Amino acid sequence: MPSSIRVRQYQSMEHVSRDITLLPKAHLHLHFTGSMRPTTLIELADKYGVHLPEALKGGTPPKLRATDERGWFRFQRLYDIARSCLREPEDIRRLVREAAEEDVRDGSGWLEIQVDPTSYAPLLGGLIAAMEVILDAVDSASRETGLGMRVLVAANRMKHPLEARTLARLAVRYADRGVVGFGLSNDERRGMARDFDRAFSIARDGGLLAAPHGGELTGPASVRDCLDDLRASRVGHGVRAAEDPRLLRKLAERGVTCEVCPASNVALGVYERHEDVPLRTLFEAGVPMALGADDPLLFGSRLAAQYEIARRYHGFTDAELAELARQSVRGSAAPEGVRAKLLAGIDDWIAD
């Protein structure tokens, strides 16, 4: 075959958009309640007599504009309403199983789901009982779906740091039952990262990875705080680091993975348009990324859609999407055997 024909065929193949759902990937930023299917929420709300606002019924995702106080209050109110519909162990098992099914459908081979067990403890018999229910549900869902699945316990930065220490000890206690990391979520404009340094020290000493939220609602300083005060190995979101070239270099040099959630960033008003999310800036600076869905219940899109955003709005080629998937796997807590299988699958996807 003449070389000119081979080149044209190769170029043609490069412009063929491969099926994103067939690209193996790891999902490192998915919140527990926020993973729920809208149809499931509607059924549970009917079961418990909870009135749902239209924003929680699975229509057009609301523009929450959480960058201002009113928007964040609305976001939290919607989240609290949804969480109030998880009252029995069977509700937890259903949520986890369906989250796993959705991830498998989107090509995920590994999921680290983030949960604050204190939110469910009052209705499930206490903190330890809640943790047991959650981990049993994760174990069952993993076996039923074939998805590698683990838990990241997250403290709430709106609460006292002593509560975070309690959660860190709980997380370490269950490190051999499926807990792989410790996080810090909620409004990063509240509380200083350094207030939670002892909790993260407990978690790290117990062998857990540190993955606090930072660089979403506030700027690059919150990402630096995650690195310097909490010794983060991953940062939840982290996109605002794009505003500081020195910080980008620091993230790249340390190999700190940013769990970037493009649809969430736009829905919460961090950026006005999908094109504004600085995926290219982070990628070209060498900052590892793991695209995540954050809260599909509220933002209306799951894991594969985040890769489609990178393709459609930021011009990521299939080769670049494959590299994003590799970065998600490398940033995960997956065992070496799982990593090797996923990385081999990514190579096969791009080779086809």
Catalytic annotation, pick one of 102, 188, 216, 259: 216
Angstrom distances, CA of residue 127 to CA of 69, 133, 317: 30, 10, 45
For this structure, is 323 an active site residue? Answer: no
Please state, as a whole number, how many other Cβ atoms lie within 10 Å of the Cβ of residue 86.
Answer: 23
Q: How far, in Å, CA of 154 to CA of 118, rounded?
A: 10
Give me the active site residues, please.
Answer: 216
